[in-house]
Amino acid sequence: DTGVSQDPRHKITKRGQNVTFRCDPISEHNRLYWYRQTLGQGPEFLTYFQNEAQLEKSRLLSDRFSAERPKGSFSTLEIQRTEQGDSAMYLCASRPEGETQYFGPGTRLLVL
Amino acid sequence: QKEVEQNSGPLSVPEGAIASLNCTYSDRGSQSFFWYRQYSGKSPELIMSIYSNGDKEDGRFTAQLNKASQYVSLLIRDSQPSDSATYLCAVRKYNAGNMLTFGGGTRLMVKP
């Protein structure tokens, strides 16, 4: 499978715990995006990488969220001290030089 | 006012009919427009992109863009039950990151 992959697909955690998600983009795509989607809403932009550089970060992203893409390949998104409001689907997307963003299957987070 | 607005639906059409999905956007600097389909519990998948005023056809799908009216639509001809999904309109503004701003989606139900 040469598409975007995300791991884990599902995560249940208790409030206050830290969680980390991983995204592996399509191999030749140097641009990577994280979005968050809650039930009944469209995805909301969180952050954007071009190669290893984090070029944009949404104002929605609190300081409990951090993302990295250390070698310009896979990316991780960490949420510290999770809150119930963090429960959502976390989507990763990648794109090449062209316009189209290709989405991964998402990681569904439930914070109890 | 949300940047990208869609009627949440559900829009119900009989099998074989034309489904018409609409989207308005507020930022006149928006340059690129996308329609994604999202099945329940799955990630968005790209159906169409459109960049200039007018119509763009791809199989049973036609995207229409009117920048003066800040309006983009998607027509699905010969609707099939498998087309039942949420359709997300997404807009890209010209900026360094090229992230997408999504509407809330319209749920389409095609009844046999």
Cβ proximity of B76 and B56 under 8 Å: no
| Closest to A80 measured CA to CA, from A37, A17, A34, A22 | A17
| Nearest CA-CA distance, residue A31 and chain B, Å | 9
CB contact under 8 A, B104 and A40: yes
Instruction: For residue B93, name the pLDDT band (cuts at 50, 70, 90).
Output: confident
CB contact under 8 A, B46 and A101: yes
Q: Is A84 on the interface with B (CB under 8 A)?
A: no
pLDDT tens across B55-85, in order? Answer: 999 999 999 999 999 999 999 999 999 999 9
Tokens standing for B93? 């503004």
Output the pLDDT for position B97.
66
Output the pLDDT for position A60.
79
- For B51, name the nearest residue in chain A, comparing CA atoms only: A99
Output the pLDDT for position B19.
97
Which residues of chain A, if any, have pLDDT below 50? none
Q: Of A73 and B2, which is predicted with more confidence?
A: A73
Output the pLDDT for position A1.
54
CA quadruple A83, A84, A85, A90: dihedral, nearest 10: 90
Output the pLDDT for position A98.
74
Instruction: For residue B43, name the pLDDT band (cuts at 50, 70, 90).
Output: very high
B101 strand-pairing partners: B91
Q: Flag whether pLDDT at B1 surpasses 90.
A: no
pLDDT tens across B9-42, in order? Answer: 899 999 999 999 999 999 888 889 999 999 999 9
Output the pLDDT for position A38.
95
CB contact under 8 A, A91 and B101: no
